[in-house]
Amino acid sequence: MHNHIQSKNKSPFYLEELTSPQMTEALKLSAKTCIIPIGVIEKHGPHLPIGTDLLESRELARRAATKEYTVIFPPYYFSQIFEAKHQPGVIAYSNKLIWDMLQETCDELARNGFEKIILVNGHGGNNSFLPYFCQSQLSSRKHYAVYLFTPDENEEYNNKIMSMRKSKGPDQHAGETETATMLTHRPDLVHPDVAESQSGEDQNRLSLPYAYTGIWSVW
């Protein structure tokens, strides 16, 4: 399922759908702004697709682009996921490649005329990497800026979501909220008949008080 969204002058929002001549017009329409929705390929329980994080972040970017025209970068799966390499379907790239890919992608977008690059993160494993990447852009002079979209917490919204939830306890990776999100825009990829708890709580034995090890449980 691919939503072909366009501006009033028929210029596509998705970078991969633009023709070369349309690229020039897209730069003007977007005020030289490009969104990079970032995901990863990893297990999301037995019921959600392994591309869930990217599908969710790209849908968020699509909805934003319908409000105000911007260019959306093609599917981007180069993320940090070493902690889940033991799970089937996980694609984990090296540290250097992950960094170089994002840096060169931003550099190439800038070479094509974009001056504002917005990262929209859909993967929890990037929560430390992406802020540091943005900070590191200040180490050398650039003719573009990289922004990481970090929405504020909305207590009223969170309380509304909590009141709607049926499950109790933590709701994180491939849980009720993420499953519901996928059901809103890609129900064809959700398999609720095989959904079950695979929280990996036994891995808590590897956790240390007041220390971060990078180990986490995964559905």
Q: Which domains does the chain have, with CATH numbers?
A: 15-206 (3.40.50.10310)
Average pLDDT along the chain: 87
pTM for the complete prediction?
0.86
For 130, 136, 176, the CA distances from 181, given in Å and listed in that order, are: 23, 32, 9
Token code pair at residue 94: 């090296």
Q: What pLDDT does 29 receive?
A: 96
Pick the residue with more confidence: 91 or 45? 91
Confidence tier at 162 by pLDDT (50, 70, 90): confident
Task: Quick: pLDDT tens for 67-114.
Answer: 999 999 999 999 999 988 888 999 999 999 999 999 999 999 999 999
Q: For residue 149, is pLDDT > 60?
A: yes
Confidence tier at 213 by pLDDT (50, 70, 90): confident
Q: What pLDDT does 209 receive?
A: 77
Q: How many other β-carbons are positioned within 10 Å of the β-carbon of residue 36? A: 23
Distance separating alpha carbons of residues 132 and 138, to the nearest angstrom: 10
Pairing, β 33-38 against β 116-121: parallel
Contact 114, 33 (CB under 8 A): yes
Q: What pLDDT does 1 receive?
A: 44
